[in-house]
Structure 1
Amino acid sequence: MLEFKLPDVGEGMHEGEIIQWLIKEGDAVKQDQPIVEVQTDKVNAELTAPAAGVVRRIFFSEGDIVEVGTTIFTIQEEDGMPAPDTGIIEEEIQVMRSVDVKVNAEPIATKPYHEAVRALATPFVRQMAREMKVDIEKVKGSGPAGRITESDVKHFKENNSITRGNAKHNDEKILQNLSPIKDAIQAKGVEDEREERIPLKGIRKKIAEHMVKSVSTIPHVTHVDELEMDRLKEFKNQLKEYSDDKDIKLTFLPFFVKAIVIALKEFKTLNASIDEKTNEIILKNYYHIGIATNTKEGLIVPVIKHADQKNIFQLADEIRKLAAQAREGKLSINQITGSTFTISNVGPIGGMHATPIINYPEAAILALHKMEHRMVVRDLEGVIRLMMNMSLSFDHRLIDGVTAVHFTNRIKELLEYPIRLVVEMR
């Protein structure tokens, strides 16, 4: 009997949530056949059978949280599979006959187990089908070897929505003739909808745990400042022709990444962390910038590795691709781990300032807020400038307030005068 223990499929993963079993007890499986989908820290992983055989026992249900190293199912390998117990089968046949059930004994006595038949699809497509409330086992795949694609799921959903729409129309006609009953049902429904309970699980639970860990461990201090964006906007517009030639959408974010990296090299404690086990400060000489991205599953932080080694256009292209993968749920563990500093760009949504929560175990996070034209005083005269606020939350164990202000001043200097940013890029 082979015991399958939940492996560590991430970096330091301690537990995972059973999202979906792809087999049942008694199913025959092949080696490397997908068995179960598990959600780890912000990504889904599809685990496969280590050997061919029969699934004998499943120890956890969908939605259960399981610690790494715990046995989640067992497989009776092919070489050690027991012969069918025909005595038990005959007994079951007699019981069914006694309650007047017609039984064909031959296929029962000759099949000790059944072959599991399962649609061929990636974890992303399966998750997409669940969210669209589509039974993926009913979808016909158009991909190689019958693999189900995203378009197959969408096509199935559209076709079945039409059928359901007709059924709904017929249901409504019936309800029109039962208006007193309908009114009673609706009145009761209003009363029943005062509360709704949703399980705190999956990515949302991981985010909650991460936020509690950060706030309870790190003494947060937030410094807010503003900067003029007029010169940077003009500089970005001048580069538009080049970005269009490269088919790259150029935003302000890549300029912030470059300015932050330059400032981090000068103020090393903002690119650091504390090893609480050894009581050491770890100063990092690599620059992996996390970009907080809002998705329907929650806040995901894809990471730009070695941001100091990439130019503005490379950063813009990578930011766009990572954001798209995050929203589609296609990021790998490597793409969401290892950040040394995080940017949270909430400007497109709005807001003047905030207290962003540090992405533990990092030392700081910078939130970028909305741009707007404001009246400001320059040379004792009121003028209109394109302004933007930024909020820096930092770990007060590592960083003093003076250092934080110097850090944001350096970022302001580089962005308010983009020629300096260009000169200092390396």
Structure 2
Amino acid sequence: MAIFEFKLPDLGEGVQEGELVKWHVKAGDSVKEDQTLAEVMTDKATVTVPSPKAGRVVQTHGKEGDIAKVHHPLVTLEIEGAAPAQAAGHGAPAAHGAPAAAAAAQPQALSAKGDGAQAASKVLATPLTRRMAREHGLNLAEIAGSGPQGRVMKADVEAALAGASAAPRNEVAASAPAAQARPAAPSVPQGRGDERIALRGLRKKIAEKMVRSKFTAPHFGFVEEVDCTELVALRKRLNETLAASGEHTKLSFLPFIIKAVLAAMKKYPHLNANMDEAAQELVVRGEFNIGIAVATNEGLTVPVIKNADRLTLRELANEVVRLSNAARDRKLKMEELTGGSFTITSLGQTGGIFATPIINHPEVAIMGIHRMRKRPVVDKNDQIVVREMMNLSISADHRVIDGQVAADFVYEVIKYLERPDMLFLAMA
């Protein structure tokens, strides 16, 4: 028998760490080759980590909620024969039943040497934050973190670069006046009958991403109503035609809205973009990869429809259903969660009058679709008529998208939704 120390393998896309969401084994358990050892949540997706060998679990490293680092010990196994050398890509995790993305990450380079490097490796920080610190020669251990559990956020690194908070942690703690240090988050006293729910897994990642977006991109919001009466009639006719031909596809409103957004982007391409924070550049994407927000039991997930402009209405409808089901069943592939250039979030029947969604950073805009309802309106002949009305909202990164541009983009989308026959000309 031999002892084999299994290290967390590459997770792909340059990811260097992930949160231990759930252990599937414990010390003393016997495991088979390829049996799931743990679930790890990265910034991209939840991945399952399989065992590279059959054997007995001697020790698991870390508890649920801890941060596991690539190329650091995850599980110690007792196996038969000599312990094999761990290959760089062996046992690469898969995103809940799907093949893993190609491993591209290298072991995390530290931003300092000796004791400073060792201390930096223990600091809670996202891969983006670590990369920024490394590129600018900063030691994460010397930066006061403002995130949960002292996590160093991107804003903290930016502040350190600006000279606002470059004092080492121990100096900050001992310095006077104390106002120079970031105040610690107040603890909530325990009350009778209270239930405490740890912020973990997808919910924790959502929280981190929303905070990063709101503190990085100044949001500009705009709302306008759209008359969907003609769209409702067209959708009904098309679905009747599909049903009569034996087609199982049923068109929702979302494929039409996606097509309207794509048509509007031809006139306003800067909405189909990402913001490169490191280079301070607006990257106008050459592909149209539309994210669709899907509510799951664990929280909101945004799968991405790749090259949406190349799909027909029927193909878009099928892809929306496929990705939505995969998100709820936790079977999305890594590549289906990355590369988005614009996001649409539909609040469905509970959409209310309007809302201002948070941008899916590094994208520069997100559109919200709200509840459609029949309302009396005054038509062009000054007659009161009943129409199918719905509100559209947009949130845009005001650093790179002017308010006028965001508003004009919404009106361009509305033009296609109010005259949906024009969509077929735009698709030609």
TM-score w.r.t. length of structure 2 = 0.69
Shift of 1:274: 1.7
Q: Tell me, which stretches of 5 or more residues in structure 1 are unaligned?
A: 82-121, 125-190
2:28–2:57 CA contact under 8 A, matched in 1: yes
When structure 1 is superposed on structure 2, of 241-250 and 286-295 the one drifting more is 241-250
Residue equivalent to 2:411:
409
Out of 38, 42, 67, the position equivalent to 2:40 is 38
Quote the Cα distance in structure 2 between the aligned partners of 1:388 and 1:48: 47
- Residues 136-169 of structure 1: CA distance to partner in whole angstroms, max 9, x if unpaired? xxxxxxxxxxxxxxxxxxxxxxxxxxxxxxxxxx
Which residue identity is paired with 2:399?
A: R
Residues 10-61 of structure 1: CA distance to partner in whole angstroms, max 9, x if unpaired? 5343432323434443555554343323233464322123345554432212
Q: 1:197: Cα distance to partner? A: 0.8
Alignment match, 1:424: 426
Amino-acid identity (%): 44
**Quick one: distance in 2 between partners of 1:424 and 1:51?**
55
Runs of 5+ in structure 2 lacking a partner? 84-94, 98-189
| Distance change >3 Å, CA 78–CA 199, structure 1 → 2 | same
Determine the structure 2 residue equivalent to 1:258.
259
Partner of 1:74: 76
In angstroms, what is the RMSD of aligned CA positions?
2.3
Distance 1:368 1:78, change over 3 A: same
Equivalent in the alignment of 1:299: 300
Q: Deviations over 1:212-261 (max 9, x none)?
A: 01001001000101110111111111111333232112111100001101
Amino acid at match of 2:400: L
Alignment of structure 1 residues 111-130 onto 2, 5 Å: none
Provide the C-alpha distance between the structure 2 equivalents of 1:35 and 1:334, rounded to a whole number of angstroms: 23
Residue 243 of structure 1 is matched in structure 2 by: 242
Distance 1:253 1:23, change over 3 A: closer
* C-alpha distance in structure 1 between counterparts of 2:228 and 2:26, whole Å: 59
Aligned match for 1:395, one of 390, 397, 400:
397
SS of the residue 1:370 aligns to: coil
Q: Corresponding residue for 1:115?
A: none
* 1:348 counterpart SS class: helix
Instruction: Report the AA paired with residue 371 of structure 1.
Output: M
Counterpart of 2:256, as a letter, is F
**Could you say which residue in structure 2 is the equivalent of 1:231?**
230
Distance in 2, matches of 1:237 and 1:263, equals 24
Structure 1 position 313, deviation (Å): 0.8
Higher share of residues assigned helix: 1
Distance, in Å, in 2 between the alignment partners of 1:21 and 1:291 is 30
Residue from 7, 17, 20 that aligns with 1:18:
20
CA distance in 2, matches of 1:273, 1:422: 28
User: Which residue of structure 2 lines up, in the alignment, with residue 356 of structure 1?
Assistant: 357
C-alpha distance in 1, partners of 2:390/2:376? Answer: 12
Q: Give, in angstroms, the shift of residue 76 of structure 1.
A: 4.8
CA distance in 1, matches of 2:54, 2:326: 34
CA contact (8 A) 1:42 1:203 kept: no
Q: Is the 8 A contact 1:32 1:51 kept in 2?
A: yes
Write out aligned runs for 1:96-115 (5 A): none
Q: CA deviation at 1:388?
A: 0.5
Corresponding residue for residue 315 of structure 1: 316
When residues 22 and 409 of structure 1 are mapped into structure 2, their CA distance, relative to the original with a 3 A threshold, is closer
Residue by residue over 1:84-133, the C-alpha shift from the partner in whole angstroms, topping out at 9 and shown as x without a partner, is: xxxxxxxxxxxxxxxxxxxxxxxxxxxxxxxxxxxxxx968xxxxxxxxx
What one-letter code is carried by the residue in structure 2 that aligns with 1:225? E
CA distance in 2, matches of 1:330, 1:288: 19
Cα distance between partner residues in 2 of 1:58 and 1:392? 46
Pair 1:350–1:34, CA change in 2 (3 A):
closer
Secondary structure of 2:370 counterpart? strand
Helix, strand or coil: the match of 2:34?
coil
The 8 Å contact of residues 273 and 363 in structure 1, kept in 2 or not, is answered as yes
Describe the SS at the equivalent of 1:242: helix
